[in-house]
C-alpha cells in the first residue's frame, strides 16, 4: 500500500514537472505536417508490363475478361491519427511519426499499389490537419496524372475512420472507414465526422502522461506530441443539430451512431462508401456483441455500406463459430459459458487462474470455487476488452489460448463470433417492401496500418515496420501497472489504470499481421473505373499476396440485363428458378525477389528507401505460388430472426483440390439443392495458396497435449528482439465477394 502511494506521488510530481517544463518552454514541439509527396510517377511502361503479365496469366487459366485486376489499400493511418502518433513515440519502440506524404510514397515506391486511401481517425482530426491531408492527397494523385489517360500511376482516395467504441454490446457500433470518390472542392466535406463513443476512457496516453515523459527523458518527440495534443484540445466541438453546411469549418463534428453518420453524409450528398472493419476484434468490442442489432433501416445504409473489410493486419473477421465468449439472457445479464473442445472462454480461464492461486495459498476447495465463480462473473461483466483486469497481477502464460478462435485463419484478438462476416450474411429481417432487409456486403482486405505503410503485406519482413505490433509495446516507465498475483478476483474497472494496460499486450502482440489488400476488377486504371468496381462489389480481398481471382455465375437470367453468353461476376445479385452454375478461376501470387527495383531507389534515395521501405519493396519474380485448393462457402439467410445460424452457414460447403500448376486452378460446379430448397442463397469462394511463412502465423504458438488442449504458450512478446519476425506457417488466401442468388419464386411473405 505504501509502495503504491509513493508511486502515485512520484507520478503526480512528474506530471507537474512535465507541465511546468513544457509550459516554460512555450510548447517547443513542432507541428506534424502532412508533408509533400515525391512529385514523380512510375513510368507508364511499368504498369504496361504488369498488365501484360496479368493478361497472360488470365489467359493461361482460361479467363478472357477485359477488365484488369487492380490492387489497393483502403485503410491507412498516418501520424495525424492520435494512436499512430503515440505508437511512433519511444515508449512503444517507435521510430518517429510518419505523415500522409510518406504513405503516398510508400504506396507508390515500396508496395507498388494501384490505388489507396488515407483513413486517419476523425476523432483526432483538426481543421489544419484536414486541410493539409486534402492538399497532400491531391499532390499524390496529381503525380500519377503524368501518364497517358487511362493509365494513372496511383489513384488516391480521401477518407477518414469513424471509430465508435461502446462499453456494452448494446451501445457499441464499431469502426467504419468513410471513403469519397472525388478530391475536388465541392465534392468533399469541409471536415471529418468523428464518433461520439461511450468508451471515452479508451484513449491513448494524453498530454498529462506525455508531459511526464518529457520530464523523464527530455526527448524532443514528446514536445511534438504535447503540441499535437494541444492543437486537438483547442479545436471546439461543433454544435449539435445544425445542418452540416451551416457549421464552421473550424470545429470538430461528431455523430453518436451510424444513423447520425449516414444522415450527415446524406446532408453533404457526396459520393461515398462506408466500410465496416475490425468487427470481431475483442480489444475494443464488448463481449456478446452481435451485428444483428445494426440490421435496421436506421443503422444500415445499403447504398453506402456495400463493402466490408474482411481481413486486415488486425486479423480475420470472416469466420463464424458455434461458441460464445459470453452468454446474455433475456434480461440482459451476462453469464460465463462452459469450456468446449474448440473454445476456452476467457471468463472461465479467469476463474481457473484464481482457483489455482487460491488453492496454492492453502484455502479450501469450497472457498476457491466461490472465488473462481466470482471472478468468472467479474470477467463476463467487464466493459469492452477489459476482462483481463479482473485478475490482479496476471501473467500471459496463465491465460493460455482462452478467448481466441483456435481454428480460424489469422484471427482477430479475443474473437467476437456474433460480429463475424459470415454471421452478418446469414442475418435477415422483415422490411416494409417485398424484399427482406439483409447485409449484402462485398469483400475487401486492407492493412489498418498505423505507420503510413499501405499494402505492407508484400513481404513477411520487418515486424516492427510492416505490422502494428507496436500496439502491444506501449509502456510508460514507472507508471504502468505493477501488481503481484493475488488469489482473489476483482471487478474489472479501468479507473486509475494506465491506458497502456487496457490492452492485454502480452498476448495481443501475437495477433498483429502484415495486412491485406483490396482487389478490384476495373475497366481501366482511372478513378471512376475503380469506383465503379467498388460500388458493383466486383471486388475481393487477399491476405496480402496478389492472387488473381475470378468468381462468376455462368447462367444468369437473361431478364436481368445480361447479354446472351455473359456471366454475372462476384458481387452480383440475381434471381433464378434453376440451379446456379458457378466457375472459379485463381492464379497464385508472384514470388518476391529481395531488395527493391531501381526506380524505387532512384525516386526515394538510399536513406529514405531504408527508413520507409526497410530496403525491401514489392519486387516480383516471374515464378508464381501454387493454388492448392478452392473452397466454397454457402450461406442460407434466416427465414425469421430467431432462426439459429449454425445450420445456415456451411463452411466449407465444397472443397476442390487443385493440381500443382503455376498456371492456377479452375473449377466449375453447381448447386442442385437450390431449386428444391426454394430459398435465397449466398455463395463465395476462397482460393488457398501453398503454405508459406508469415509474421505471427502461429499466434500464441501453443504447445498442446494429446487431447489437443493448449498447455503452454510462447507469445510473440512485445519486448522480444525486433529481429524475431515470429514466423509461422500459414496458407495465404483470397476471398471473392459473394454472389447473391435469390429464388425467384420465393413467397416473400413467408421469409
Cβ pair 146, 153 in contact under 8 A:
yes
pLDDT digits (tens, 9 = 90+) for 39-83: 888 888 888 888 888 988 888 898 888 899 999 999 999 999 988
Question: Cα(320)–Cα(343) distance, rounded to whole angstroms?
Answer: 13
472 pLDDT exceeds 80? no
In 3D space, the residue among 429, 381, 339, 379 whose CA is nearest the CA of residue 710 turns out to be 339
564 pLDDT exceeds 90? no
Question: Cα(368)–Cα(357) distance, rounded to whole angstroms?
Answer: 9
Confidence (pLDDT) at 6: 46
Outline which parts of the chain fall under CATH 3.20.20.140: 35-197+234-321+408-468+512-546
Question: Cα(615)–Cα(465) distance, rounded to whole angstroms?
Answer: 11
pLDDT cut 70: percent of the chain above it: 87
354 pLDDT exceeds 90? yes
- How many Cα atoms are found within 13 Å in the side-chain-facing hemisphere of 383? 15
pLDDT digits (tens, 9 = 90+) for 74-133: 999 999 998 888 888 776 777 888 999 999 999 999 999 999 999 999 999 999 999 999
Helix (H) or strand (E) run with residue 254 in it: strand 253-255
Beta partners for residue 521, in sequence order: 69
Mention the CATH class of domain 35-197+234-321+408-468+512-546: alpha beta
Buried residues in 312-330 as b, exposed as e (16+ CB within 10 A) = bbbbbbbbbbebbbbbbee
pLDDT digits (tens, 9 = 90+) for 276-291: 999 999 988 999 999 9
454 pLDDT exceeds 60? yes
499 pLDDT exceeds 70? no
| Structure-model confidence comparison of residues 1 and 555, the more confident one | 555
In order, the DSSP letters of 497-537 are --GGGTS-HHHHGGG-----EEEEEESSSSHHHHHHHHHTT
544 pLDDT exceeds 90? yes
Cβ pair 312, 277 in contact under 8 A:
yes
220 pLDDT exceeds 80? no
CA dihedral (125, 614, 464, 33) in degrees, to 10, reads -20
Q: Average pLDDT of 634-640?
A: 95
The alpha carbon of 618 is separated from its chain's Cα centroid by a whole number of angstroms, namely 22
Confidence (pLDDT) at 43: 84
pLDDT digits (tens, 9 = 90+) for 507-517: 988 999 999 99
Q: Please give the backbone phi and psi of residue 582, each rounded to the nearest 5 degrees, phi first.
A: -120, 155
Q: Average pLDDT of 150-163?
A: 89
Is the four-CA dihedral 637, 643, 646, 647 of positive or negative sign? negative
Amino acid at each position: 500500500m505504501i509502495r503504491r502511494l509513493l508511486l502515485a506521488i512520484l507520478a503526480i510530481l512528474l506530471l507537474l514537472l512535465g507541465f511546468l517544463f513544457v509550459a516554460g518552454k512555450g510548447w517547443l514541439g513542432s507541428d506534424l505536417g502532412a508533408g509533400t509527396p515525391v512529385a514523380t510517377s512510375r513510368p507508364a511502361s511499368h504498369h504496361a508490363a504488369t498488365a501484360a503479365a496479368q493478361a497472360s496469366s488470365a489467359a493461361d487459366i482460361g479467363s478472357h475478361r477485359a477488365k484488369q485486376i487492380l490492387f489497393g489499400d483502403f485503410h491507412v493511418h498516418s501520424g495525424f491519427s492520435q494512436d499512430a502518433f503515440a505508437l511512433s513515440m519511444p515508449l512503444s519502440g517507435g521510430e518517429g511519426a510518419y505523415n500522409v506524404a510518406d504513405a503516398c510514397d510508400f504506396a507508390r515506391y515500396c508496395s507498388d499499389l494501384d490505388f489507396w486511401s488515407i483513413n486517419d481517425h476523425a476523432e483526432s482530426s483538426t481543421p489544419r490537419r484536414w486541410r493539409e491531408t486534402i492538399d497532400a492527397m491531391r499532390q499524390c494523385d496529381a503525380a500519377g496524372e503524368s501518364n497517358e489517360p487511362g493509365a494513372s500511376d496511383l489513384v488516391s482516395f480521401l477518407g477518414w475512420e469513424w471509430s465508435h467504441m461502446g462499453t456494452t454490446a448494446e451501445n457499441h457500433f464499431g469502426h467504419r472507414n468513410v471513403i469519397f470518390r472525388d478530391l475536388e472542392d465541392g465534392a468533399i466535406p469541409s471536415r471529418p465526422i468523428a464518433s461520439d463513443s461511450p468508451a471515452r476512457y479508451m484513449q491513448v496516453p494524453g498530454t498529462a502522461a506525455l508531459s511526464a515523459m518529457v520530464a523523464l527523458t527530455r526527448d524532443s518527440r514528446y514536445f511534438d506530441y504535447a503540441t499535437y495534443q494541444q492543437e486537438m484540445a483547442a479545436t471546439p466541438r461543433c454544435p449539435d443539430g445544425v445542418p452540416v453546411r451551416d457549421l464552421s469549418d473550424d470545429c470538430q463534428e461528431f455523430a453518436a451512431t451510424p444513423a447520425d453518420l449516414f444522415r450527415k453524409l446524406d446532408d453533404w450528398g457526396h459520393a461515398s462508401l462506408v466500410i465496416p472493419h475490425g468487427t470481431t476484434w475483442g480489444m475494443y468490442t464488448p463481449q456478446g456483441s452481435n451485428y444483428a442489432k445494426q440490421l435496421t433501416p436506421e443503422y444500415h445504409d445499403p447504398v453506402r455500406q456495400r463493402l466490408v473489410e474482411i481481413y486486415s493486419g488486425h486479423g480475420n473477421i470472416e469466420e463464424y463459430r458455434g461458441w460464445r465468449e459470453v452468454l446474455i439472457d433475456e434480461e440482459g445479464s451476462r453469464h460465463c459459458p462452459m469450456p468446449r473442445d474448440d473454445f476456452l472462454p476467457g471468463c472461465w480461464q479467469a476463474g481457473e487462474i484464481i482457483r489455482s492461486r487460491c488453492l496454492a495459498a492453502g484455502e479450501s476447495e469450497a472457498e476457491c470455487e466461490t472465488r473462481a465463480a466470482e471472478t468468472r462473473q467479474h470477467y463476463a461483466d467487464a466493459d469492452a476488452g477489459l476482462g483481463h483486469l479482473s485478475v490482479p497481477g496476471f501473467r500471459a502464460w496463465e491465460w493460455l489460448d482462452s478467448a481466441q478462435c483456435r481454428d480460424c485463419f489469422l484471427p482477430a484478438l479475443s474473437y467476437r463470433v456474433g460480429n463475424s462476416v459470415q454471421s452478418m450474411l446469414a442475418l435477415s429481417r422483415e422490411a416494409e417492401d417485398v424484399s427482406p432487409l439483409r447485409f449484402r456486403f462485398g469483400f475487401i482486405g486492407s492493412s489498418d496500418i498505423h505507420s503510413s505503410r499501405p499494402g505492407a503485406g508484400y513481404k513477411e519482413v520487418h515486424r516492427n515496420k510492416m505490422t502494428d505490433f507496436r500496439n502491444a509495446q506501449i509502456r510508460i516507465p514507472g507508471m504502468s501497472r505493477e501488481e503481484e498475483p493475488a488469489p482473489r478476483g476483482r471487478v474489472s474497472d479501468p479507473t486509475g489504470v494506465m491506458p497502456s494496460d487496457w490492452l492485454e499486450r502480452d498476448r495481443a502482440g501475437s495477433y498483429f499481421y502484415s495486412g491485406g489488400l483490396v482487389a478490384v476488377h476495373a475497366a481501366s486504371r482511372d478513378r471512376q473505373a475503380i469506383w465503379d468496381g467498388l460500388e458493383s462489389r466486383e471486388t475481393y480481398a487477399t491476405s496480402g499476396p496478389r492472387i488473381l481471382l475470378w468468381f462468376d455465375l455462368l447462367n444468369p437470367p437473361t431478364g436481368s440485363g445480361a447479354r446472351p453468353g455473359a456471366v454475372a461476376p462476384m458481387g452480383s445479385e440475381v434471381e433464378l428458378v434453376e440451379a446456379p452454375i458457378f466457375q472459379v478461376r485463381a492464379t497464385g501470387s508472384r514470388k518476391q525477389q529481395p531488395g527493391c527495383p531501381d526506380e524505387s531507389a532512384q525516386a526515394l534515395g538510399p536513406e529514405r528507401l531504408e527508413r520507409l521501405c526497410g530496403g525491401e519493396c514489392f519486387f516480383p519474380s516471374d515464378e508464381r505460388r501454387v493454388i492448392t485448393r478452392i473452397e466454397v462457402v454457402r450461406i442460407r439467410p434466416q427465414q425469421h430472426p430467431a432462426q439459429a445460424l449454425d445450420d445456415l452457414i456451411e463452411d466449407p460447403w465444397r472443397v476442390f483440390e487443385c493440381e500443382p500448376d503455376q498456371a492456377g486452378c479452375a473449377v466449375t460446379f453447381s448447386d442442385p439443392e437450390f431449386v428444391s430448397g426454394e430459398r435465397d442463397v449466398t455463395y463465395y469462394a476462397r482460393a488457398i495458396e501453398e503454405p508459406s511463412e508469415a509474421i505471427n502465423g502461429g499466434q500464441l504458438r501453443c504447445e498442446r497435449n494429446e487431447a489437443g488442449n493448449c498447455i503452454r504458450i510462447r507469445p510473440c512478446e512485445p519486448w522480444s528482439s525486433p529481429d524475431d519476425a515470429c514466423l509461422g506457417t500459414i496458407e495465404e488466401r483470397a476471398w471473392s465477394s459473394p454472389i447473391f442468388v435469390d429464388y425467384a419464386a420465393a413467397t416473400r411473405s413467408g421469409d
